[in-house]
Amino acid sequence: MYKPALKIAGLTSGYGDIRVLRGVDLELKPGTIVALIGANGAGKTTLLRTISGLVKADSGFSELYGESIHGLAPHRVVQAGFVQSPEGKQLFADMTILENLMVGAHSKRAYERRNETLEEVYELFPILAERRYQRASTLSGGQQQMVAVGRALMALPKVLALDEPSLGLAPIMVDRLFESIAKIRERNLSILIIEQNVFQVLEMADYGYVLENGQISLSGTGAELLGNSHLRATYLGL
């Protein structure tokens, strides 16, 4: 039977009295890249934090390959296979690159395979192998983003969530990063990617969702969305 990699339905959550998500439905097919776009404050990061268990959901459910991850503590969600690379990288500045990567592999399953996964991450981002004893704070923005992605991969995710990976990067670095992300998909991983870089991410993504005011207002394949007049006017200024 077909089971989506990630399925979310009717998810609502928020902070205190303020509702940020007001019933979000979203689905990720195994091995696909799904883009989530939306304006600032639409609730994209809150959605990731809710799935991760960092923000408590009020209602709705979330499943990973048919297994509920709803209401689990953050470390249980990671163990189940939903791992995020948080917005703004959030590296551990005083730790070396190697240490940062190893932190990702703390669950039992990931820890046992840590050396193999580390080789894979180094293969994906060779520069990280070269600089593995350097403190994370000494890296360029693009390299730091590589560490953040690598750190999430070290947890052996089934679904990898990337929160604005291109934030603050030079255009050439964005291109390279997107190439690497496309390569990650070949490992039979599903990727949920939040981006402001709408044009580029929709070109790469298999499917996309638009989040507006805490609800999905539009969805479709990357090409469909790029052709949509509302989306073109609102997010691309065309």
Partner 1 sequence: MTVSTIPLDRTAPVGFSKGPALALIVLLLAAGLPLVTQDSFFIHSAIMVLFFAYMATAWNFLCGYVGQLSLGHAMFSGMGGYVSVLLFTTFGLSPWLGMIVGGLAAAALSVVIGYPTFRLKGPYFTLTTIAFAEIVRIWVENTDTFLGFHIKGAEGLVVPMVGESFAAFQFGGKIPYYYIILGMLALAILATLIMERSKLGYCLKAIRGDRDAAEALGISPTRYTLTAFAISAFMTALGGSFYAQFFRYINPERNMGTELSIDMALMSIIGGQGTAFGPLIGALILTPLAEVTRGYLGGTFLGLHLVIYGIVLMLAVLYFPKGVLEPLKNLAVGLFRRRNPA
The site for partner 1 (CB under 8 A) is made up of: 49, 52, 54, 73-79, 83-84, 86, 90-96, 99, 102-107, 111, 119, 122-123, 129-131, 133-135, 138, 151-152, 155
User: Smallest distance, Å, CB 150 to partner 1?
Assistant: 12
If the CB atoms of residues 44 and 151 are measured against partner 1, the closer one turns out to be 151
CB 117, min distance to partner 1, A: 12
Least spacing, CB of residue 174 vs partner 1, in Å: 22
Give the pairing type, strands 18-28 and 6-15: antiparallel
Q: Identify the H or E element spanning 219.
A: strand 215-221
**Count H helices, E strands: the chain?**
11, 10
28 versus 78: smaller Cβ distance to partner 1: 78
Nearest CB to partner 1, comparing residues 155 and 177: 155
- The two three-digit tokens of residue 146, written as one number: 């590589």
Q: Which neighbouring-strand residues pair with 12?
A: 22, 59
End-to-end CA distance of the chain: give it in Å, rounded.
42
Residues in the chain: 238
Least distance CB 95 / partner 1 (angstroms): 6
